[in-house]
Structure 1
Amino acid sequence: MSAPAQGRRTGAGGLAPAFAAVRVRLGLVAALFALAAVGWWWTVRQMQGMDQGPWTGLGTLGWFLGVWVVMMAAMMFPSVAPTVALYSRLTRQRSPLSPLLFAAGYVVTWAGAGLVAFTLAASVERISGGVLAWDRAGRWVAGVTLLVAAGYELSPLKDVCLGKCRSPLGFLLGAWRDGRWGALRMGAQHGAWCVGCCWALMASLFALGVMSVAWTALVAGLIALEKTLPWRRVATYGTAVVLLLLGVLLVAAPDVVPGLTVPGSGQVDEMEPMDS
């Protein structure tokens, strides 16, 4: 029986089919969580002493992309694991390589998003002449970024993209491709929906400190809750409230935001500046 035919028999709604697949593909899910754990360990080591608060310098392109790709795997693999498990259960090709190719395609899309983010940051820095410095417009731009992200949480586009992430079976049926190349393409397409769902949260991470382990963990947690919590509206509205509060506090009283490194406050570790 083909994968689409199996899907029609089980239904395409919600997270239940994916969570059922997790129980059948525990080894695969454990492997993805292990890769995420290694990614967190490596990311923490790389970010040690790098947090300079909002709009932290991104370093060279090669260094940033390396950190970004590993960080995305660490942040996203736990929440995408049920989808990968469901793909593995549906595919007729029982090779352990196919679900890993699906996960790899997912990460490739996020690598592309990282490249876009780096290009935008570098372009703004060159054109603006340091306008994102904290004592210039940086504080206000960071606050507005968080407020925009809060608004996006309640937008129709966010709802559509999150729906794809929260209905893995429906996504797989609509995007199904056979073979290993198909696995890579499907993973990349699922990653594109995830970027559409989470780009504002990732922008918030840049506004809070992209080299901060604490803020990275918070954003990863919010993403995981939105994708897996049974109460969808609770998750999205809760995330919007968190971002709204952070945006207001960042502008009005940044010193009271827990874990925020305020540039020029003496909180930043002494280190050599990174090349942009």
Structure 2
Amino acid sequence: MSVRAQDRVPGEGLAPAFAAVRVRLGLVVALFALAGVGWWWTARQMRGMDEGPWSGLGTLGWFLGVWVVMMAAMMFPSVAPTVALYSRMTRQRSPLSPALFVAGYLVTWAAAGLVAFTLLTAVDRLAGDVLAWDRAGRWVAAGTLAVAAVYELTPLKDVCLGKCRSPLGFLLGSWRDGPGGALRMGARNGAWCVGCCWALMASLFALGVMSLVWMAVVAGLIAVEKTLPWRRVATLGTTALLLALAVLLVAAPEAIPALSVPGADVVDEMDQMPPMDD
């Protein structure tokens, strides 16, 4: 049965999760509150650090700490219906199980962040400043956005998004009892989420991983794809936006709102300097 057919099976879509949201409203409010704290903390940590595409990531410890909080801020609103449904289905009705589920989810995203840090560090050490804006950085960023746009239309994206949009099907198909089961289920849900969203997160690096504006844009795209009923419209809209950004990065990067173009401030300052007398 295809993923789209599964989405139309009663009980396999988002309706059971949204019903659980109403029942577990306090849990959902707590997740949104944690997301809000994550946005506030991330904004403080990243203030003045947005250098545009391929911004510096700092040390491994600092980056992983900020990355995990970023994932909580960006992903908790989207994963809240799944956590609420899991909480409702937990036999022992223990408040610990949803917390472990969320912890497992964040562990998977922490591993994804470690992979990203390792890849970018390896590129930096092996190829020097190849990702600098005035070298290949601009073109690599545009290529990353184009690849992300293409990935939106692939069968793998379709399968992973189907898992994210069918919380009941996922939970029934991977159910494990006990605290260890909660942790493993959360990690597996995080793995499907990484499969669904890795290209969008790569786009965030290409636009400026230290930019709160682009964090919000990517988080919004993820939420739209996972929760809106018009799945195909959301996917095609995301594809079109990514392609448009890729073209603008090459043709007119200054036309992209909130994009920090490396070196642009220096050029502006030089333009504003009074002419020198002969």
TM-score (norm 2): 0.92
**CA-CA distance at 1:12 after TM superposition:** 3.6
Answer yes or no: is the 8 Å Cα contact 1:52–1:211 preserved in 2.
yes
1:245-269 Cα distance to aligned partner (Å, 9 max, x none): 000000111011111000011189x
Aligned counterpart, 1:145: 144
1:126-205 to 2 correspondences below 5 Å: 126-205=125-204
Structure 2 runs not aligned, ≥5 long: 1-8, 268-278
Aligned counterpart, 1:262: 261
One-letter amino acid of the counterpart of residue 72, structure 2: A
1:162-183 Cα distance to aligned partner (Å, 9 max, x none): 0000000000011000011100
Aligned counterpart, 1:109: 108
Instruction: Measure, in 1, the Cα distance between the counterparts of 2:254 and 2:66.
Output: 28
**Aligned residues between the structures:** 259
- Corresponding position: 1:251 with 2:268: no
Aligned counterpart, 2:3: none
Instruction: Measure, in 2, the Cα distance between the counterparts of 1:159 and 1:40.
Output: 29
One-letter amino acid of the counterpart of residue 53, structure 2: P
Report the structure number with the largest CA radius of gyration. Answer: 2
Aligned counterpart, 1:3: none
Aligned counterpart, 1:66: 65
**CA-CA distance at 1:11 after TM superposition:** 4.8
Q: Match of 1:266, SS?
A: helix
One-letter amino acid of the counterpart of residue 64, structure 1: F
Instruction: Measure, in 2, the Cα distance between the counterparts of 1:267 and 1:153.
Output: 36
Instruction: Measure, in 2, the Cα distance between the counterparts of 1:93 and 1:138.
Output: 52
Instruction: Measure, in 2, the Cα distance between the counterparts of 1:211 and 1:189.
Output: 27
Instruction: Measure, in 2, the Cα distance between the counterparts of 1:234 and 1:25.
Output: 29
- Closer, same or farther: CA 110–267 of 1 in aligned 2, 3 Å: farther
TM-score (norm 1): 0.92
Instruction: Measure, in 1, the Cα distance between the counterparts of 2:155 and 2:93.
Output: 37
1:218-274 Cα distance to aligned partner (Å, 9 max, x none): 000000000000100011100001100000000111011111000011189xxxxxx
**CA-CA distance at 1:13 after TM superposition:** 1.3
Instruction: Measure, in 2, the Cα distance between the counterparts of 1:218 and 1:115.
Output: 22
Instruction: Measure, in 2, the Cα distance between the counterparts of 1:265 and 1:107.
Output: 36
Higher relative contact order (CA 8 A, sep 6+): 1
Aligned counterpart, 1:18: 17
Give the root-mean-square deviation of aligned CA atoms: 1.2
Answer yes or no: is the 8 Å Cα contact 1:39–1:70 preserved in 2.
yes
Instruction: Measure, in 2, the Cα distance between the counterparts of 1:70 and 1:166.
Output: 23
Instruction: Measure, in 1, the Cα distance between the counterparts of 2:190 and 2:21.
Output: 19
Instruction: Measure, in 2, the Cα distance between the counterparts of 1:35 and 1:258.
Output: 28
Aligned counterpart, 2:122: 123
- Corresponding position: 1:29 with 2:28: yes
Answer yes or no: is the 8 Å Cα contact 1:261–1:267 preserved in 2.
no
One-letter amino acid of the counterpart of residue 77, structure 1: F
Instruction: Measure, in 1, the Cα distance between the counterparts of 2:218 and 2:65.
Output: 19
One-letter amino acid of the counterpart of residue 52, structure 1: E
Instruction: Measure, in 2, the Cα distance between the counterparts of 1:267 and 1:91.
Output: 57
1:42-97 Cα distance to aligned partner (Å, 9 max, x none): 01111110000000010000000000000000000000000000001111011111
Q: Runs ≥4 in structure 1, deviation > 2 angstroms?
A: none
Instruction: Measure, in 2, the Cα distance between the counterparts of 1:49 and 1:110.
Output: 25
1:85-121 Cα distance to aligned partner (Å, 9 max, x none): 0001111011111101101110010000000000000
